[in-house]
Amino acid sequence: MNYQVYVLHSTTYSKIYIGYTSNLNQRIKSHNFLAKKGYTVKYRPWSLIYHESFEEKKQAIKRERALKTARGRKFIWDLIKSNN
């Protein structure tokens, strides 16, 4: 199975969301349309701005945690700024 670590950005609210999944398209659809409660519901719409693929779930979880650190979040915000 293939796992994706992904970063979503809400331009409207200037928020980011970091997660991992084994089905990226379904997960983004869930964040934008299907979910009824939770963090991502409040800040719709979300755009996929970054993702990485991993063979093992353990690797994906490790990378997700790294992106959620201060250094990881800085990397993401720098990426957002460079694309604007």
Q: What predicted TM-score, i.e. pTM, was given to this entire model?
A: 0.95
pLDDT in tens, 22-80: 999 999 999 999 999 999 999 999 999 999 999 999 999 999 999 999 999 999 999 99
For residue 75, the domain's CATH number is 3.40.1440
Mean pLDDT over residues 9-30, rounded? 98
Beta 47-54 vs 15-21: how paired, if at all?
unpaired
Distance CA 23, CA 11 (A): 23
Mean pLDDT over residues 4-27, rounded? 98
Residue 84 has pLDDT above 80, yes or no: no
Number of domains in the chain: 1
* Domain region containing 46: 3-83
